[in-house]
Amino acid sequence: MTKKVKMTEILPHSGIMKNNEHIFPVRVYYEDTDVGGVVYYANYLKYLERARSEMLGMLAIDQAEMLHYNKADDVSFVVRRCEVDFKLSARLDDCLNVRTQIINLGGASIIMQQDIFKNGICIIEAIIKIAVIDKSGKPKKLPKLIAEKFEKLL
């Protein structure tokens, strides 16, 4: 017998921008879980990363193009700090939403609040500090055009 999955919201695969946040849908697959069907803790970090990448795409920030460093303003984004509060677990076939908000723009950093919800209940809270770096890995000022895109989400 097939288990029916109740989806509370059906979102496009890249998610949606709503007010000042990005909402990204994730379904928990078998590969995400341990033998008990519970999401392995490190996979939540993957969900957060995917959500950030999709948000950048929706803001027309092309990470892949910037990695070529063809333009003076090209930068990379790397996680500098990650604080995660695991409140509840997700399980096989759960439908989750990752909500991302920009909470602070620094000269060479971005701080984001990322929360994962299951059926409207927050199960993961995370604060992610992103460093902006140049091709050699040194801190670089956030380019003005990118900063302007992020400022719209503050």
Give dist(CA 53, CA 98) in Å, integer.
12
CB distance 99 to 117 below 8 Å: yes
User: Got the DSSP string for 115-137?
Assistant: EEEETTEEEEEEEEEEEEE-TTS
Is 62 tagged catalytic? no
- Dmax over Cα atoms in the chain, in whole Å? 57
Question: Hey, how many other C-beta atoms are within 10 angstroms of the C-beta on 99?
Answer: 17
Report the alpha-carbon distance of residue 72 to residue 63 in Å, rounded.
14
Out of 32, 34, 93, 134, the active site residue is 34
User: In sequence order, what are the residues at sequence separation of 6 or more whose Cβ sits closer than 8 angstroms to the Cβ of residue 130?
Assistant: 52, 77, 78, 79, 80, 109, 110, 111, 112
Q: Mind telling me the catalytic residues?
A: 34
